[in-house]
Every structure is written in C-alpha cells, then in structure tokens.
Structure 1
C-alpha cells in the first residue's frame, strides 16, 4: 500500500508542466511491488550462480577473449553469450558490456570488459566456469587487446560472413598467435542474405590453419550457434596453469577507481586462493593492502568468500592513491613476495602520436591533474608528463596509440570527470642526432634546434607497416594515395579464389598516416577499404623546423615541422590560415615563415585605413585638390610606419588556440 501511495503522490507531483519538461510519461511508470520482486529474484539467482562458480576447480575453468575487426559483431555476440548463460535477461540493453558513455555514443568498444559465465558441458554434464574478456577492435586500442590476451588461454577469432577477412582480423590473429593462445574461428552474421559462409571459412582456414569444418557459424542477432561456440570453448581451450597448493599469486591486468569503495583490481589468479579480509602485497609499490572485498564480475561486482587458482575476479582495496598500482604487476598474498617470482609484466605501449592536453578554463588545472591520474590508471597505454605552454598554460604532454585513441581520451576526460579540455595538433616522435653526437627524441617543434644552435646531424622519422584490404578494382587508387604519402609497397596478395579482394602491405611514414590518410582512403575506396598498421622502425628524413615571425619577432609557440622540399608550400597554407585569424591593426603586420634563417613564405595583413577624403568633404563640403589627398595619405602612411616600429603585434588568445589545437 505504501508503494502504491508513493507512486500516486509521484504522479501528482509530476503533473502539469513538470512532467513534459522532464520527458516522463506517467502511464509508463513501473509497478514498484512487482519490480522489487523481480530484482530480488535476479539478485538471488546471481548470488547462487556466483557461489557455485567459486567452488569450480581450476581444471574446469576456461579463460578466453573475443577478438575481431571493427563492426564484425563482437559486442552483439557477447550479449547473446551472456543471455544464453543466464547472466542477462532477454530484455537487457544492447552492448551491455560497453559501459562507458563514449562507447555507447560512438558504438565502439574502448575498454576490455570481463564477465564470468556458467556453462554445462554436453560431454560430461559438469558445470564449467568460463571467464570472458571482451576486447576492442580498433587498431588504436590494440594495447587493451594485448593486455587482455595475457590473462587468457584461448581466443575466439570472429569474422563477418559478409565482409570476410579485414585488416584488423589479420592483426588480432597475430597478437593471439604470439601470445601462444588456442585460437577458435567463428563467422558472424550467418543469418544475413548475402553471407558467404564457405568462402569466409576458407579465408580463415588459410590465415589460421584451422580446418574449415571447425569454424563455428554464429549469429549475434538470432543466437544461432551460440551453444556450439560455448561447447567448442570448453573442449578446445586448455585450463589455466597454476597450483592451488602454492601461496596466492595473481596478475593485475586492469583496474579502476571507485569513489565509494576505493581501488578495484581485476586479477587473473595463477596460484593459491585469497579470502576476503586477507592482506595482499603489490610488487610495484611494495605496499601491503587489505582486501576488503573479492569476487567475480557477473556481470557486476558479485562478492564471494574466496577466489582461487585459475579464476578471474576482482579485489577491492581501500587505497586512494591510484599511483600505487600499475597494470601488469604481480599481486601476492602477504609474505608471498619473499619466495614467489613476479610476472614479467606487460610490454610497455609504444606511443605513436603525441599531443598536448590543456584545460579550457584556467582554474581547472588541479581538476585536470586529478582526472588525468585516475584515467591514466585505467588506460596504461597513454604516456603522460607535465608540460607548460606559453599560450595554453599548464597541462600535459601525452603519447597515444592513434588519433581515435587521443579523441576518445579527451572525450572521457569531459564525460567522466567533467573537465573541458583542448588538445594540440598531433605530432610524431622524431629521433635527432645532435652536432655533439648525442641522440634525443623530439615530440614538438619547440624543442627542435634552431639558429644560433647547430642543426642536427641526422633526423629520423617513425615508420609503420600498413595492411590495407580493398576490392581489386580500387587497387590503383589506393596505390596512388600511398605513393603520394611517400609509401613503399611491400606485397599484394589475393584474399579469395576469384581475386575480388586483395590485401596490400605498405611501409609508410607515420607522420603521413596520422593526418587525413584514413579519410582519404575511405573516400577513394567508397568505404570498402579497411586499414591497420604496426610500428616498423625509423628512417632518415630531411626535416626542418618552420619558425613563424610577426613583424620580425619570433613566435616559437606557432612553430611546426615540415619536409624541406615541401616547406614553402606547407608554410604558405599555414600563414594564410593565420592571416585570417589575426585582426587588422593600425599598422602593417608582416607574417613570415623562416627555415634556417631564410624566409620561405610570407603574407601581409593590411592596416586599418582612415578615409581622409570623406573627412575633407565633411569639413569643407568638397574633396579639394587631388594632390592634397595624396599628401594626406602619405602623411598617414609615414605615421603608420613609425607606429609599426614602436608597437608589437597584439595576437588574440583565440588565434593561438585555433592554430595549435586539433
């Protein structure tokens, strides 16, 4: 009765103008009583499942990831797996594991997500604990994939039955192969009319060596083949290594900060078991923490009394200092570090793109620092150090794995932590050999030696090996684009029997890739090409620093890199853009682009001019002698020349920001 009365009171309070403003339709309010019962039943079922999962021995554990190209149905398949195993109700929202706001807004997976599943084997009738790690598909989040694979023994390589193998299908397979995982092949979207199931099976067989009859057909939309995939995982993925008799030892493969609980550590347990209330030792900080809560993700944090060898779960510690933890470190039971050997850890991520992150509001400096510390813990692939810009103030210089990675990181700072930030134009790291023989890495033009300093002996730029998959008839367009971007062709291979699709491999300078290469590729291929790249070392390049001068004064904050043979062309476009941003003043403004002391491009902003003829007419009723007009203009010109000598160009902050930000 109280619930019904409360609901009626809520109806009355929301009547009139308030309800339409809030976007609430009163007739759709759920019945509180039934809702509570349903929630209680689901919570009770989850608790029973988690308690049963905690008792399953290591031999019946299976840890696996799903890897795929972007938009090949990975997140939809994860939804069906969770619903088939009873973790989610049939009416659960799509992309359930994609919990970040930026993931739902963009429709992509950014963070690897974990969930435990209980599955009954059709062979022996026993329950198995399957620990699923859903991974991102975009190349910019490949570090998330590599970290997740370290906690698994198997991987499901998913491929779209309509599109076939794409560039990142090849890349993610090689990652799983290098991690020595058991690879299961599956084709998705088999319910679609244009699905080419046999052809795609053959492609996967050629790529992975898996027999075509072992490729599982699944549909994330209809649920077809999901049970077959679960049984294949049980049969073919080996149990995790480890021993239940040794002291507790686990790999920290992910972490997040919870404002109410503290640090939540996601761990893959190799040896022993951990009980709630026990103390753990972290190998990186060399500190001891109390495990206030432990358990599984089912799919939310579900507590248990213990987690043991072979399982993937979470450990909550009350620590507030997020810098005390590092993804990839080893977690021991207290005292276990004295006899146990830590894991080798993860290979550090190699930043491909550098950019500055600065707060839009001057007073948000401390807020940005706090947000950066928390976000950096959840994204170990970002490299960050403090930086001060004469234009934008105090901020951070960050290294990212790509432009999408940079854009998502910036959006997460705004959506998750409420900090409005701007990012500077991205650059790549160059290796410089200075005149004294010392080697340094330069990330932005302000650090590049310029007169009176001696120029560097040698400059090297980073390269990438790009894999491009496209229709055969578009090959020439793609080749022309790669040649324009200073690329070197390595190979061209057909992907199917008819030769309708080809896979090209090119070596390209990274600086040419991070600009608009992917947009141009999609335009030339009408959206049919896929693209992936991996680091491929460095090569020598004739690079120069272009310095911007305003009326003879150097403005180092606006300097940039350019190839020597393209410096004039690039500088001219840059100055024309700057010319439109700086307002006209009472004197001439000369803007020059200088390379090694030589002007390679220049533009001029004309001064504001007073109409002396109009003033003459107003005062005397006529324009007077033309020679008088010329004399007045000449006197004005002389005054403006003297003003230019004693004045400095006033560049508005908006112009600086527009030139340096993305």
Structure 2
C-alpha cells in the first residue's frame, strides 16, 4: 500500500461512551470481519473485558476502505481503554498514530476522562475528529453536547459528526473524515528500518510477539533484527497485521501498524517503547524517543497462597508485565507470607484486573496486602528514602519529615451536586481550586487532594454522592509534608503484616475501627475469644472481640452438687487458656478477608 493512502488513528473517550461498539461498526462497514463472524466488542479479546464490558488493553485492527474518490485506503485503528487506571495504554496508542476520534456520549456529554484523553492527544499533535455517539437514544441531546465540544476543542459545529455505533447511522461519514482530515504517516521508505514497539504479548509456542508501528524502512519475514535498548537479537519469524486476528504478510512497510513474531523466549528482551532495527544496519539506526516512564500510583504486595508456588507466580508476573507496561514489580519477603512481589500499579481497578488475570490466565491463587501509596521519608541523618511498603517504614524517632503524594483532581458534575462533592472532598483533605463551567448546569471542579484519599474508594463514594452522574480524572502533582503513621492490625494479639498500612494520623483511628469491624464480620469464630486490635506503635486505637464457640460440657449432668458443674466449666476455661499459651490459638485469615479490608467501608 502506498504511504499516502495509509491512515493511522485511534478512538479515545470516557469509559462507557461506546468506543468498542463504534469499532465493531467500523469493522462491519469496511468488511474486515464477515457479518456471520461479527460479535459485540470484537476488539475486546480478553475474557475479562467481555465480562465487565470495559476495554482494558489497547487493540489494533487493519481495515481496507474505498473512499468516495474511488481510491483504496489502509486504515489502521487502535481501540483504547477509557478508565483512568489505563491511561498509559491510551498514551502508547496515541504515539503510534496521526489522528484520534474523540467520542462523546450524546446523552452524558463531556466527562473527566474525555478531557484527559483529549489533552494527551493534543500533546502528541494529533488531528482530532469530534464525534457524538448514541444519537439513537431518546435522551440524546445533540445541540447541547455539540456546544460542549465546541467550547472544549474550539472547533466549528460542522466539524462535529453525529453517529450511532449501535445502528451504524453516520459511521460511514466517520470513515470519510478519517481519510480526509488525518494526514498520512511520515517516514522514509529508503532509510534503515525502524519500528516502535507500542505493545507486546507472550505466546507459549512462538515466544514474544511485538506490536509495532513502522517508522522508516521495511521489515520482511526472516530478517535478523535487534532491539536497541535491551541489546537483544532475534529473527522476524513472521510479520503481519491484525484484522483483528493475526494475518501474515511478506513484509511491513513504512507507516504501517502490525506485529513481529520475534521467537525470543526471554521476556525481558522485548520492552514497550524500544526501537526494533535491522541487525545488519544497527549502527546506522538512531533509537526512537519511546515513551515516558510510567509512575505507579499505588503499591501492594502479592504473595502466592501456597509458599512453594513462588516460581510459578514469578513466571506469571513476567508474562502479565510483558502485556501490561504500567505494571512494575520487584521481589519482596514477608515473615508471615513468605516470598512474593511488591507491585506498583495505577489504581485499584488495575490491581483487581491483575488479580483476575493471574488467577484466570495462569491459575495463581494469591494473597494481596493492603495497598499503599509511595511516601518519601527524610531521615534525621539527611538521607531520603522512598517507602512503598508499611513494613519498611522507619522508627518515627529517626524521621525528620514525611512527604506524601498529592494529585490534581478534576471532577465533572451537575451543578445540583456541588454541595455533596465538596463535602466528600473536604472529608478527604482536598483543597478546592476553581470551577470551570461546561454549560449552565454542569461544571468541572478542580481540586488538589492527597493520593491516598483518592485511590481506595473515592470514585465509588463520588458516584454515590452524585447518583452516578459525576466523573473523575487525576494526575500526579507533587510531594507535600504530612503526619504519617503505621497502623498495625493484631489478630489474637499477633500482628498481621499484610494488613499493616501507612495512613495520615488524623484518619488512623477511623480506619482502624473500619478494619477491625470488617474482620469481625469476616473471620470465622473459634473455640477461643479472638481479640482484634488496631495499633499505632504501642497504642491501641480500635478494638473488637469475636466471642468463642462454647461447647456445653455440662450437658450430660443432671442433679447432684453444683460444684461438679463449676469444676467442669473451670476445666474448660483452663483448656482454652492453655490452647492460647501453646500457640494453638493462631487464626487462619481467609483470602476474602484481605479483599474486604482492601476497601474502606462506605
């Protein structure tokens, strides 16, 4: 295909605004997928995506389209996620294309993630095609939503397309706009081959498969290749594109998006953002800029349920991390849980998806410790440490200052919920900045908030406070001084390291109370009383008790002296005390208890 007739674009939007449904219609109208094989969410290939109805992974697809000028065009689409936890997937997609369809639900209008993704696309210098979706719904308000988009982008009304991804109405005009408005890819076909890796996955039989955007030159099957950043060598055992199934071709040319089967079994050899070069011309090949390093927002420990499963968990983590570039992990050892990993993630949904993927794709039953953000600690000696685990938090007497991460949060909400939102944010130590009106009855509230107040259950609470109408986006701002303490949880007077958490001192008592109450509802009763305590150092800030089962040891007695009954009860009491003293009073905490403690109580 001539370079001038290639168009690379992606679809960006807020969650649930219909990206995957529009992608289905594009595949159908261009004849990329036969009608009998078409199913909903064609580009959501993971079982989890189909179940939850959300896009988790970016997914490329190539389409052929005959435009009104009679010319055949190659359209390379990348479908992207909409949730804030998967913004890194969006940013990588944007770096591989020249244009973006900005999709907005005509019933809901511009939302927080719409704005965040738009700014990402503008930063990349992409051509933006604004599209209103779901115009077939009775409550679609096209004039009102078009005004919002005009205000947001500064475009003309005639530039905004109105479509229904469900019925297909107006979708052909979107394809026409892609061809007309988005420029063909730049690059030099005669130069040494260079390709940018924007995603990758592992195949048990074929090794690592790299998803690439060709920038210069041409890669053919059986070419000897080199990965510039990792210094690994491989062979292009197969090259091709996705439609959305793998389709082998003799070569990938300048401007095209496709895949290379590398044959590499070493997962670390292929890194997202790296440059693929031809081995024979590696010295003459300058590496591409790649991507900025993603900054994890939340950290959690992940341990195998059975200690001897560590090696299998390590292999599983390697394979998931290859396909999830926002995931960082390093080995960690816990006296209670054994060997595991300290994982850096972008949010709680990201953590949930990681848990599910480890379980479904790799059969790993795991225990997840309480999530924490990364704090910076300045020691009295002047040394500066980054603390990602509560177990690494130093003795307070050696600390000069503790700094916690803050974020800039944008909340889009109807005006009649301003009071509810402001109360919730104030409760979470948020600082109000400004209000920016999208229209008379809807605005963006700009706040600064501690990251620890946002990551756990703030989004759920925000939805409850606004009857589901508000949306949230946040990005890292800076570190600020704070009074942070380690909250330890004791079960039967034994500390449970996996339940320890770092928290602001003002919130420690209420958080401790929440945890011990959750454990009281979750843990099974035993033959002895279980004490549940939350402590800061040697100070107990919250406590509960789970009463013991009481076997009726006097049930077979009848009549006689009451002292016989008292002796039996006293013997039972001593037996329970002995059980505790001998260490038989240990409590096995079920995995679901850890999961329930992960979220604050509403």
For the criterion TM > 0.5, the same-fold answer is yes
Cα deviation, residue 94, structure 1:
1.1
Partners of 1:391 and 1:657 within 8 A in 2: no
- Cα root mean square deviation, aligned: 2.7
Give the equivalent residue in structure 2 for 1:418: 363
Contact 2:378 2:400 in 1 (8 A): yes
439-448 or 135-144: which moved more? 439-448
The answer to whether the aligner puts 1:622 opposite 2:561 as a matched pair is yes
Question: Alpha-carbon deviations, 1:542-599, whole Å to 9, x = none?
Answer: 111133457876554543323223333333443444456375566x766554424334
Q: Structure 1 residue 302 and structure 2 residue 243: aligned?
A: no
CA distance in 1, matches of 2:576, 2:310: 42
Check whether the contact 1:392–1:657 (CA below 8 A) recurs between aligned residues: no
CA distance in 2, matches of 1:591, 1:134: 48
1:335 aligns to 2:270 (yes or no): no
1:442 aligns with 2:442: no
CA pair 609-364 structure 1, distance change in 2 beyond 3 A? closer
Is 1:518 the equivalent of 2:459? Answer: yes
Distance 2:531 2:258 in 1: 64
What residue in structure 1 maps to residue 586 of structure 2? Answer: 651
Change (3 A) 1:603 1:300: closer
Whether 2:293 is the aligned partner of 1:356: answer: no
Please state whether the residue corresponding to 1:654 is helix, strand or coil: coil
Q: CA deviation at 1:175?
A: 0.6
Counterpart among 160, 168, 177 of residue 122 in structure 2: 177
1:369 aligns to 2:285 (yes or no): no
Correspondence list, 1:589-604, <5 A: 592-603=533-544
Structure 1 residue 200 displacement after superposition? 1.2
The one-character-per-residue Cα deviations of 1:629-661 (angstroms, maximum 9, x if unpaired) are: 99x699779968985995447322226873477
Of 335-344 and 378-387, deviating more is 335-344
Deviations 1:302-322 (A, max 9, x none): 111121111111111211111
Equivalent position to 1:232, from 177, 180, 204: 177
Q: Pick the aligned partner of 1:190 from 135, 152, 156.
A: 135
Range with bigger deviation, 147-156 or 316-325: 316-325
Alpha-carbon distance between aligned partners in 2 of 1:194 and 1:643, rounded to the nearest angstrom: 69
Q: Deviations over 1:610-629 (max 9, x none)?
A: 989x59x94871326xxx99
Query: Aligned partners of 2:576, 2:364: CA distance in 1, in Å?
Result: 46
Q: 2:94 matched to 1:149?
A: yes
Query: Residue 319 and residue 81 in structure 1: after superposition, are their counterparts in 2 closer, same or farther (change >3 A)?
Result: same
Q: Please list the CA deviations of residues 162-182 of structure 1 after superposition, one character each: whole Å capped at 9, or x if unmatched.
A: 111111111110010111111
Q: Which runs of 5+ in 2 are unaligned?
A: none
For 2:174 and 2:552, the matched residues in 1 are separated by 82
Q: Secondary structure at the match of 2:261?
A: strand
TM-score scaled by structure 1?
0.84
Equivalent in 72, 90, 94 of residue 17 of structure 2: 72
Report if the CA contact (8 A) 2:520-2:545 is conserved.
yes
Q: 1:383 aligns with which of 328, 344, 348?
A: 328
Query: Structure 1 residue 494 and structure 2 residue 437: aligned?
Result: yes
Pick from 59, 67, 70 the counterpart of residue 4 of structure 2. Answer: 59
**Alpha-carbon distance between aligned partners in 2 of 1:487 and 1:96, rounded to the nearest angstrom:** 41
Corresponding residue of 1:44: none
Quick one: which of 122, 143, 158 aligns to 2:68?
122
Q: Structure 1 residues 233, 553: closer, same or farther in 2, change over 3 A? A: closer
Aligned to 1:345, the other structure's residue is in SS state coil
Asked if the contact 1:579–1:603 (Cα under 8 Å) also holds between the matched residues in 2, the reply is yes
Question: How much does 1:478 deviate?
Answer: 1.1
**Alignment partner of 1:568 out of 505, 509, 521:** 509
Match of 2:48?
A: 102
User: Which residue does the alignment assign to 1:470?
Assistant: 413
Quickly say closer, same or farther: Cα 1:464–1:606, change in 2 above 3 A. same
Aligned length: 595
Over 3 Å counting, the alpha-carbon distance change for 1:569 and 1:112 in structure 2 is closer
